[in-house]
């Protein structure tokens, strides 16, 4: 009987050591998985924000076009005018633009700096973070066109007119951002059609 008790004590010690080893291995694996998943989650979040900003950019260009149709209903060549009150300045082929919001609404602003391949060095191409506080105390942060008084975000955007004529206009919208030492970019080509005949 005493011999049997001695063996149990040794087995219990071995089981405890094995359990501690399994627990340590599991903790290391969980730590590695978390270490990998956090940057991947941040990357996915930034791609999602960039895609939403890209979609917004294309919608803004459609709004500019519709506003010009309303302001110049009799002149079909003013559909991509840069000024809501004057049709003399229009979107030109191979020129780069940024979208600006003023008291009259959205407009395109020529910006040669934003035509370069790396727009992340240009303040004028960057977006700012604007936080709005509501009456109930809740807050909402939005990406807005660059304003020196606001906090600068790490996202940059630009629109390039690839081809423009009286009937159609092809554009390339681009969003870039810095993620650590890497620069990321998404871009999309799209076309607008002048339906006014």
- pLDDT recorded at residue 119: 64
3-state secondary structure of 116: coil
57 contacts 49 by C-beta, under 8 angstroms: no
Higher pLDDT, 10 or 190: 190
pTM of the model: 0.76
How does pLDDT run across 4-22, given as a tens digit for each residue? Answer: 555 566 677 788 889 999 9
**Tens of pLDDT, residues 109-151:** 888 777 556 666 667 788 888 888 989 989 988 888 888 888 8
The tokens for 98 are: 């940024």
What are the CA-CA distances from residue 164 to residues 88, 94, 197 (Å)? 15, 9, 16
Which residues fall within 8 angstroms of residue 177, CB to CB, at 6 or more apart?
A: 46, 50, 120, 154, 155, 156, 183, 184, 185
pLDDT (0 to 100) of residue 7: 57
By the 8 A CB rule, do 91 and 77 touch?
no
Q: Is the pLDDT of residue 72 over 80?
A: yes
């Amino acid at each position: 009987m005493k011999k049997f008790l001695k063996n149990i004590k040794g087995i219990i010690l071995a089981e405890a050591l094995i359990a501690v080893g399994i627990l340590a291995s599991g903790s290391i694996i969980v730590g590695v998985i978390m270490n990998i998943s956090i940057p991947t989650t941040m990357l996915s979040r930034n791609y999602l924000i960039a895609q939403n900003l890209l979609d917004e950019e294309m919608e803004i260009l459609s709004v500019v076009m519709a506003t010009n149709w309303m302001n110049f209903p009799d002149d079909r060549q003013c559909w991509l005018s840069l000024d809501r009150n004057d049709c003399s300045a229009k979107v030109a082929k191979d020129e780069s633009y940024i979208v600006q919001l003023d008291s009259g609404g959205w407009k395109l602003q020529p910006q040669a700096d934003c035509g370069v391949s790396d727009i992340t060095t240009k303040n004028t191409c960057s977006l700012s973070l604007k936080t709005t506080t509501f009456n109930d105390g809740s807050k909402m942060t939005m990406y807005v066109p660059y304003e020196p008084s606001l906090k600068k975000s790490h996202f940059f955007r630009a629109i390039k007119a690839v081809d423009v004529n009286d009937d159609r206009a092809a554009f390339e919208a681009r969003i870039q951002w810095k993620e650590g030492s890497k620069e990321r970019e998404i871009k999309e080509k799209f076309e607008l059609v002048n339906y006014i005949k």
